[in-house]
Structures are given as C-alpha cells and as structure tokens.
Amino acid sequence: MSKVKKKVKVIKIDVDKCNGCRACEVVCSAFHAKPQYSSNNPARSRIRVIRDPLRDVYIPVYAGEYTKAECAGRDRYVIDGKEYGECDFCRASCPSREIFKEPDSGLPLKCDMCEDDPPQEKPLCVEWCINDALTYEEREEEVEEEVKLEDVEIGLGSMVDKYGLQKVIDTVARMAKKE
C-alpha cells in the first residue's frame, strides 16, 4: 500500500469548559437528518455529552468504531480526585450502552466530521459550542492508503454481528422478493 498525505481533523475537547447544554448533540442530529436539518433527535447524535451532574462529570465524546463485544473488564480512573468510568471516554458503539446507535434500527453511528458538499468550515458541534469546550484544528499527516468499506457494508456487518449471517441473508432475500 502506498503512503498518502492526509488531512487530519482534530477536535480539542476541554471538559472544564463544558456547561453540559448538549447543543452539540442537537445540531449534530439535525445536520445528519435526511433531508438535512429536517429533524433533530439527540439519540441519533454522533457526539454525546457523557453527563453525571452530581459527580461533576461532563465529557463530550464522539462516536468512533462499532464493536460487537463489550469489554470484559471495566476500569475506573481517578483523575485529580474525581472518578471516571472508562466508558466515560470511550467512543465505541458497543452493546454495553445505548449511545451511538440509531434508536430505531440499532445500527451504529460514527462521527464523519460533518462531511458536506460544499464542505463546512468546521464540524457543526464545534460551531455551536460557543463556550469553546470544543475547538477545531487541522493538521497534515502521512498515512497508508486504506480500502474504505462502503457504508452499506459497515451497516450489514453490524447486522450480521447482531443477528447472524443466515438471518440477514434470509431477510435480504425475503425483502428482494417483495420488491
């Protein structure tokens, strides 16, 4: 595989500045609605504020990769005297929790940095966080070229993980018949 130059988009998360308002969730779900902005629903958001007010935990977390199995152990971190669960920082769409999945289909969600045509100046969560808990920067990196899975394949993969290959094949076959 060849090396290519890649623009890496970075969102810096300053948890101390987060006021817990969840505007990031609102605008994320609105942006990704089809048609764009036609609806909003934080349950579909690809960023979630992991929030436990009484423990003063406010952590904006972005949806990362889908994983079919949850972690065997769950560690706890103590940082500056405050305790966090390791899931509080985790980006995975994972069976152990409901976030980063479409609420109706259960399909996994992943942050795409608000890919748009024409491109947005910065991801909208950053745009809407006027307290600057989220800030945006770009940098260049050399990386190996990768084969990108089609969206459909990622989705189907997770369905296979959840229901088994045979069930998915049967369902697709049945749906094809109906068409």
Partner 1 sequence: MEIDLTRGNIERVETDPKLTELHLGGLGTNTRLLWDRVPPETEPFSPDNLLIFGPGLLVGTPAPGASRTIVTTYSPQTLLMGYSMMGGFWGPELKYAGYDKVIFRGKSPQLVYVWINNDRVEIRDASHLRGKGAVETAELIRRELKEPNLQVVAIGLAGENRVYMASIEHGRSSASRLGLGAVMGDKGIKAIAVRGTKDINLGRPTEFLKLCNEVLAYIKVRAPNLVPEVMPILAGLGSPQEMLHTDEKWHTENFSWGNARVRRKDFWNKEIEKKWKQSLETVRTRLISCYNCPMKCGAIISAPGISTYMMKCFSKLTYAMAAFVDDLDFGFKIAQRATEYGVDGFSTPQAMAFGFELREAGILTDADFEGCPSDNEGKFYWLLDRIVRREGIGDVLANGTYWAAKQIGKGAEEYAHNNIKKHEQLPLKLGMLNPIYFLMYTTGEKANITQIEGNFPQAPFSTMELREAFVRDWIQAPNDKFKQYVLDWEPRGERSMPFYPTVEACCEIVDWQEKMHYIDDALGVCAGLSSFPLKPPYHIHNYPGIIASATGMDMDEAGLTHITKRNRTLLRAVNVRRGLRRADEKPPEDHWKKRFPELEQKLLDAYYEFKGWNKDGIPTKDSLHELGLDYVAEDFERRGILKNE
Enumerate binding residues for partner 1 (CB under 8 A): 19-23, 26-27, 30, 33, 35-44, 52-56, 58, 98, 103, 128-131
Of 64, 66, 75, residue with least CA distance to 94: 66
CA atoms within 13 A on the CB side of 73: 3
CB of 120 to partner 1, least distance (A): 12
| Residue 35 beta carbon to partner 1: minimum distance, rounded to whole angstroms | 7
**At closest approach, how far in Å is the CB of 20 from partner 1?**
5
Please give the Cα distance from 86 to 42 (Å, whole number). Answer: 22
Q: Which is nearer to partner 1, 23 or 160 (CB)?
A: 23
List all residues 6 or more positions away from 15 whose beta carbon is below 8 Å from its beta carbon.
Answer: 58, 59, 60, 133
The nearer residue to partner 1, 55 or 68, going by C-beta atoms, is 55
Q: How far is CA 16 from the centre of its chain?
A: 21
User: In the bound complex, what is the minimum distance in angstroms from residue 28's beta carbon to partner 1?
Assistant: 10
